[in-house]
Structure 1
Amino acid sequence: MDTYGRNDTIIGREGLVRSFFSGTGKSYDRVVRMFTLGLDDRWKGEIVRLVPDSRRILDLGCGTGILTERLAMTHPRAEIVGVDITPDYLAEYEERLRRKPWIHARPMLGNAETVSLEGEFDAVVSSYLIKYVDADLLLNNTTPHLRRGGAFIAHDFTLPTDPIYLNSWRAYTWAINRIGPMLFPEFRTVFDDGLTGLLRRTRWPDDVMRALRDHGYEEVRYRRLSFQTAGLVSAVRA
């Protein structure tokens, strides 16, 4: 698998994520709202809608806790474990928990592919993580902790395949890659064709669906969202 070229190792993928996101935690929520034109809220809702009744939920690549908060609103009795590799994002996550003590969550610093997990979860979810990981390594690490019948749900940006949508996507990303660094210079690496370049190279969602089937998951499904600019994969552990 050469999705990331020389970055296709655990260390290389970690380095890519750190180069994108180190030092950006405080402005991340504003960037997401602004540059997804508010669609992030809708996409998070699509994830939450697929989560079954749960006692424990694993939120991989939890970032500042946007998805964790949405999960807590619909599953108020669930314990949520949020995993992220970037310390300043987990600091924002913890601040969210302090401001909103009704969220029953616990942050963990670690790589989703290798983090040491304990116990069993009813759902494993992620938003904007899956394009950065090796799907097989991720499932090797998480499947033993997902109960049988539990849900695996992954959402991320996608490159449109419809020519009209693709041309619109190219025009929009061209614009934000120029405006973004002026408004949020800490995100320069992301806007400097970093994210859009990755989306042109990634094999998500195909690799993820293949890996889910290889690991014995059932009901593997993929939905395109918002003019094919995002996608959602869901599956059930057999």
Structure 2
Amino acid sequence: MRICLGIEGSANKIGVGIVREDGTVLSNPRRTYTPPTGQGFLPRETALHHQQWALTLVQEALDQAGLGPASISLIAYTKGPGMGGPLVSCAVVARMLSQLWRVPLQPVNHCVGHIEMGRQITGASNPVVLYVSGGNTQVIAYARQRYRIFGETIDAAVGNVLDRLARALSLSNYPAPGYNIEQEAKKGTTLLELPYGVKGMDVSLSGLLSAAEALARMRVDAPREAAAKPSTASSLAGHHAPPPPPP
């Protein structure tokens, strides 16, 4: 049975997975670049992080799977979409391994990889997919030999909104901005209305982000005595968005 080693590093996480032809995951070690609080992950620093860990993760993946290079039938890597520097760093490693081990090299579309991974894990045969990874917010289904987008964000993606909101609220990037926003939301006591727009099957989140960042700036700039009031961070993290207008 053929075995594939895949390298994914399109954003701040780099992972190396080894998977059998039947879909069995033999190993999947990962490392995440975590920038300082208040900062996002920049392409240069993220690429350097991936370069530092790539070969270590390849060896970890082989060790955890109990395999050697001779057992690998195919090398796969994320071709895009994603951040240019990190993608190139992983592609260089994948190409090097392909040449050293004399096995084929297979580029993979990042978005398709997410969708097909979900289908493999859930066993779904013909799903309608809500794809909300990183810079994507889309409702997708597969028909007539292609993936079709039924609705999507027309500006900011959900993942980008969460990352920027965490920075505006000075929340830690560890273990993940979205997780830390959720923990703050559990402490919230006040519902804050934030705008968003829906047009047909599409959604606009830029207004929500702008309003949230404005509220966060008010919290940062507030006088010291206002610190005794209920936490804006917690309430903002657990905000209440008004319902969209009727179609």
**Given the two structures, how large is their TM-score scaled by the length of structure 1?**
0.24
Higher helix share: 1
> Who wins on radius of gyration, i.e. which is larger?
2
Structure scoring higher RCO (CA < 8 A, sep ≥ 6) equals 1
